Amino acid sequence: MNKIFLIMIEFFKTGLFAVGGGLATIPFLEEMSMKYGWFSMDMLSTMIAVSESTPGPIGVNMATYIGNVIGGPFTGVVTTLSLVAPSVIVILCVSRMLKQFQQSKLVQSVFYGLRPAVVGLIISACISIFAGTLLSENGLAGLNVLNCVLFAVLLYCYKKFKMNPILLIVLCAFLGIVLGL
């Protein structure tokens, strides 16, 4: 199968089923990494950091970034369009009927049932990112002490001194460059 077509299908599926925002796309991206080897898990962590620190929706930023990594700017556009296409299609189909179904018990029940799935996907993504950043492949035996100390200090500063998130991102980028992380 043509690689571009395969990428379109994978990102369309991700856009269709990653309900809950950009972080909900991470488990799908992890699966793509393992299934196709288009990018490594280390690269995924970098992509998440870059996507979180750039303006715009994280899912769209990650799709564009991954597309560029896989095959350059054209593939970046393809991945982005493939990710957002399901949302556009659903919005176009549902927008006319939204008022009619907004008060429907069935619709409210469906959204109520989706909440735990979305939370589960986001927690799964957080655990993967946390483990990938602070641990090596050896689990607790490969604890990255420097990353753990930086995490603890920056978390403390963020909470105690109510640090501006933008300042924290810039500080972390600077520390990453200086310390070669």
Per-residue pLDDT tens for 114-143?
888 888 888 887 887 777 777 766 555 567
Give residues with Cβ within 8 angstroms of 32, minimum separation 6. Answer: 10, 14, 38, 39
CB 76 within 8 A of CB 67: yes
Q: Give the closest residue to 22 by CA, choosing from 68, 55, 61, 76.
A: 61
Which residue's entry shows tokens 């604890």? Answer: 143
Residues 90-95: what's their mean pLDDT? Answer: 80
pLDDT of residue 142: 66
Question: Higher pLDDT residue, 88 or 128?
Answer: 88
Which conformational region is residue 57 in: left (phi greater than 0), alpha (psi within -120 to 50 degrees), or beta?
beta
Q: What is the pTM of this model?
A: 0.60
> Would you say 115 and 103 are in contact if contact means Cβ atoms under 8 Å apart?
no
The yes-or-no verdict on residue 181 having pLDDT over 70 is no
Span 21-77, pLDDT tens digits: 777 888 888 888 889 988 888 888 888 888 877 788 888 888 898 898 888 999 999
Phi, psi of 177 (to 5 degrees): -70, -50
Q: Between these two residues, 141 and 180, which has the higher pLDDT value?
A: 180
- Using left for φ > 0, alpha for ψ between -120 and 50, and beta otherwise, residue 20 falls in left
Are 158 and 172 in contact by the 8 Å Cβ rule? The answer is no
Mean predicted confidence (pLDDT) in 164-175: 82
What value does the mean pLDDT take over residues 146-152? 82
